[in-house]
Chains A and B, each alone.
Chain A
Amino acid sequence: MFRSNNVAARIFERQISSPAPGTSVHCARRFYENIVPSHTIFDMECPDILFRKFSDDGQYLITFSRNHQDLIVYRPTWLSFSCREQDCHDHELPSKANKFESFFTQLYTVTLASSGELICKDFFLYTEKNQFGIFATSTAQIHDAPAVGGAIQGIPSIEKITFHLVRLEDGVILDERVFCNDYINLAHSMGVFLYDDLMAIVSLRYQRIHILQIRDSGNLVDVRSIGEYCREDDELFLNSSAQCTPNPDRNRTHNIENGLDHNQHTPEAPFLGGLKQRLLSFIFRGIWNEEDDPTVRMQCLKKKFYFHFQDYADLVIWKVQFLDRHHLLIKFGSVDGGVARNTDNHPAFFAVYNMETTEIISFYQNSADELYTLFELFCDHFHSSSKNSFYMNFLSTHSNNIHALEQLRCNKNKASSLPQFVKKMLATLPINCQSQSPSPYFDHSLFRYDEKLISSTDRHRQSTDHPIKFISRRQPNILKFKIKPGPESGSADTRTKKISSFLFHPILPLAISVQQTLFLQPAVVNIHFRR
């Protein structure tokens, strides 16, 4: 590592010595201690747009129009100006520095949403290899939608959800995938997970996991649909089997009992869905294998399985992520929790499912210590960074950073009850895809910052008037830079609640902070960069 903190000395040292094996990125990152976004331009003039994020390779800034209909993509450039006089360093920046266009060049505007639809402003996924962006538009949500056509009761319905695959280089819409009368959790890309070129879309309403592949040509290809069927040819097999004819009399009495009286109804499948069957049989076999004695075994089965059978059978898929190309981590829970924002009080379970062998590998409750231990040790692998994504391989988490681990252990010791702490930590699983910023300023071995005020996780936070300090780790108590959202003098009205969001460029010392109040006042946009 470097012997001096001086950037020139470090550059000379870099010329003559090579870093320890496997640490070249970490060594290069140390230069970010010297190059920080220390200058802020407050309340810059920018067009009335909604900021989403920088793409993970830093090539594009993704924004949406205020009316949620258009996608506007910018290229981050850098402020440039010339000065004729001699000692320019102390001069003020020219007035054009206050303009958004000095830092960003607009590449194009594309209309994604037709009338009646809105772009989901929290949804954006990026494939680094081909520079494709995935966006979502949807129509309005219908609550209390009737459960027809295989849908489950209790989940709202959206008339039309469209996923658009856009080539960000020029804004051409390459492909679309439409889901009708379905419900997919689009906020913060929760219902969709991208791994390399595979996309998993969770249809909460029909309880299916759609796996799609993004081809290099820009086409979205269906790979499989897991839920009702596990293998691609299950449906064919069941349809051709004579035992599969549904019983219409049984369905009619069932519906009358429920008070439903629609004449047109699709016959309910007599079997539980394929994935549910796999899950129930896994739980059964696990309990069966625990005991050798047949009597004790039956007692165990009655107590642990049959007593809870209906609860297990009623579990619904909430969320899914890829662990690798073949394995999915699926979160199950009750129907009420599927759309609820706060799922703390709902029981939840995790299952690891192998898509190729269609087997469930393991099943845990959300308070399982075993799963928490894996989360603590191998958090990086839950982030599923694929080989194509260079910058995402170096996120600073508690599994690869001693400072983050100390912070986690500290929180664990402070927690009033360990099972509650475990549940809270495991509630972050499955993780939201691409929700962490790869910016080196969030690296815990370089900087110390208040995680409650700012962190690499991409979500809105409550805003304070005080600037957020980034303090150097290696030189304790030396403040490297500050990020202050909102106007320079602080806002006059301290009572209204303000929320801030931060967009850090993955490579350049450039960050945008956007402060909004909950009413329709214009947002205050600050830009932080190295002058």
Chain B
Amino acid sequence: MLGSWPSIDPHNFSQFKPNDPSNSKRMTPVTYRPTHDRTVPPPDQVIGPEAKNILVRHFYQHAEEKLRTKRASSENPSPERASKVPSFCL
């Protein structure tokens, strides 16, 4: 089977029939209870694809970055400044 991996619910795998008929023992998996709730997904979470392509996403990201960095831009006052090339994590 899946080795001795634990499961959150002891009733999981109760309908499992092993291929090897000699080993007909039905195993109830070891149960565990997590001691924290950091990994629980939020109850209203919906996972879906990103509608915007990567180029448009970068445009939005740049716009947000400019809103956030209010301090750094005052060092270079002219509007035609050669802006620093941002580093990307790809």
Binding site for B on A (CB under 8 A): 286, 289-292, 296, 300, 303-304, 308, 323-324, 327, 352, 361-362, 365, 367-370, 373-374, 377-378, 381-382, 419
Task: For the complex, give the distance between the alpha carbons of A303 and B80 in Å.
Answer: 12
Contact assessment for B79 and A368 in the assembled complex, using a CB-CB cutoff below 8 Å: no
Binding site for A on B (CB under 8 A): 52-56, 58-60, 62-63, 66-67, 70, 73-74, 77-80, 82-86, 88, 90
Q: Tell which of B55, B56, B58, B80 touches A365, judged by Cβ atoms closer than 8 Å.
A: B80
Contact assessment for B80 and A361 in the assembled complex, using a CB-CB cutoff below 8 Å: no
Contact assessment for B85 and A290 in the assembled complex, using a CB-CB cutoff below 8 Å: no
Contact assessment for A367 and B80 in the assembled complex, using a CB-CB cutoff below 8 Å: yes
Contact assessment for A373 and B55 in the assembled complex, using a CB-CB cutoff below 8 Å: no
Q: Tell which of B63, B86, B88, B90 touches A361, judged by Cβ atoms closer than 8 Å.
A: B63
Known A300-B77, A327-B52, A370-B62; 17 more pairs at CB < 8 Å? A286-B66, A304-B77, A323-B53, A323-B59, A324-B52, A327-B56, A352-B59, A361-B59, A361-B63, A365-B79, A365-B80, A367-B80, A369-B85, A370-B83, A373-B86, A374-B55, A381-B53
Chain A residues contacting B73 (CB-CB under 8 Å) are: 290
A-B contact pairs, 6 of them (CB 8 A): A289-B66, A291-B74, A362-B62, A367-B80, A370-B62, A381-B53
Chain B residues contacting A296 (CB-CB under 8 Å) are: 74
Task: For the complex, give the distance between the alpha carbons of A403 and B52 in Å.
Answer: 28
Q: Tell which of B56, B77, B85 touches A324, judged by Cβ atoms closer than 8 Å.
A: B56
Given that A292-B70, A352-B59, A362-B62 are known contacts, is A369 also in contact with B77, CB under 8 Å in the complex? Answer: no
Chain A residues contacting B55 (CB-CB under 8 Å) are: 323, 374, 378, 381-382
Minimum distance in angstroms from A279 CB to a CB of chain B: 14
Task: For the complex, give the distance between the alpha carbons of A193 and B22 in Å.
Answer: 69
Residue of B nearest to A282 (CB): B63
Chain A residues contacting B56 (CB-CB under 8 Å) are: 323-324, 327, 352, 361, 381
Task: For the complex, give the distance between the alpha carbons of A323 and B53 in Å.
Answer: 9
Residue of A nearest to B60 (CB): A361
Minimum distance in angstroms from B22 CB to a CB of chain A: 38
Chain A residues contacting B70 (CB-CB under 8 Å) are: 289-292
Q: Tell which of A292, A323, A419 touches B82, judged by Cβ atoms closer than 8 Å.
A: A419
